[in-house]
Amino acid sequence: MASVSELVDGLSKALGEPRDKANKYARALIDADLLPKSSGRAVAQVEIVHFVRLLTAMALQPKIKDTGERVAEYLNLPMAATSHKTGERINRDMTCEDMLVKVFCAALTRSPGELTQASIHFVVNFPLVEVTMPSPKVLELIAPEMVVRFKPHGVPLDLDDLPIRRSVIVWADSVKSMGFDLEGCD
């Protein structure tokens, strides 16, 4: 298991961001009860959901004082659509946080050398997250990838009018190389 400090170190290196910046986001998430807080000699251990929350904060890069609220807003977005019929098997009640936990758990449990890519696009000027994943083997000839979008209800799905995007691309082997021993993947 990893501590919050180890999570900050790993993510700041992986994303090429200063450790001090990652640490400020982590502190803001602790204050918002979105990351665990250590007490005395009991060092808090992080789970995969905490990794997702800090990654989201670092991708969105909100003002420090708004971090908890912005991360919660994005990670609580409901599923809006999937790009092809395999999405029908996805639980439609799933939030963005639920999906990202599943994506990162899949990346962490892949066999070595089984390269897969998951791409997560955070639209920073509007609450919308798009997750692109390889399709299951049986469908890759029909549709090589599946796109799942999370947004507020009643908002159109057209992304062409949203000019500011920040993306985080996740490769299974690179997530493993961070060396985290994270709990929370069932």
pTM of the model: 0.84
pLDDT score recorded for residue 163: 56
pLDDT score recorded for residue 139: 45
Residue 113, both tokens: 């050398």
SS3 82: strand
DSSP structure class, residue 80: E
Residue with tokens 């994303």: 15
pLDDT score recorded for residue 28: 98
- Which residues does residue 145 pair with via DSSP β-bridges, in sequence order? 134
DSSP string, 102-166: HHHHHHHHSPTT---EEEEEEETTTTEEEEEEEPPGGGTTT-SEEEEEE--TT-----TT----E
pLDDT score recorded for residue 158: 62
Distances (CA, A) of 120 to 167, 168, 171, 172: 6, 5, 11, 13
Distances (CA, A) of 51 to 119, 125, 136: 16, 22, 25
Distances (CA, A) of 40 to 43, 85, 100, 111, 129: 8, 50, 31, 38, 37
pLDDT, averaged in runs of 10, over the chain (186 residues) = 88 90 96 92 89 93 95 92 55 84 79 63 82 62 68 68 59 63 72
